[in-house]
Structure 1
Amino acid sequence: MEFLKVGDFWTYQIPEWDNYEKDILEKILFKLDFISVSGYIMALEADVWKIEYQDNTFRLANDLVHGCEIKTDSEEALPLMQELIKKLPLE
């Protein structure tokens, strides 16, 4: 699994979720019992959810330009982010 460093964040693209609308992503996220959604931001061109997983914070962003991606600002959290991605229902 390859992570891309963009500015202060490590990111991973989730192309399977690129075309999902906010409502669909929220239904998926709130059904997952291994994460906690602790916040939501409606940015200019993106929907961003703050996700807590094993005492680490990740951001899931979905926008029209970059598609869907998960990100963290902690390089030490990359193994956990990889574990989280493997648990997501990517269809």
Structure 2
Amino acid sequence: MSMLDKIIENRIERSQKYLKPLINPAIRAHYEVMIRVLQTAPRSAPEVKKMLERKRQELHRATKRDDAEPISNEIDALEWLHSLLVLESERRLHEHPVV
């Protein structure tokens, strides 16, 4: 398992701790969306960036809060993942510079 996978898995595990039955349903939904996104999203910064752009457009078109909330949660998770992927890409570039 790569360091990137370990970081993502750690984030998923920490989020799963918040899925206790007594938690506020909105908070529970937030973490459920985050876990799903982190488990299924591609591990490529350009692909995640495209997903982010699509989700932002979808959020812009959402007319009800109930529709916008899960999209906003997906965007949060994708932004976190995108930042991580960009950092990992930069780290690899510094370790193995293209000459």
TM range (shorter): 0.3 to 0.5
Q: Which has the higher helix share?
A: 2
The structure number with the bigger radius of gyration is 2
Q: Normalising by structure 1, what TM-score?
A: 0.33
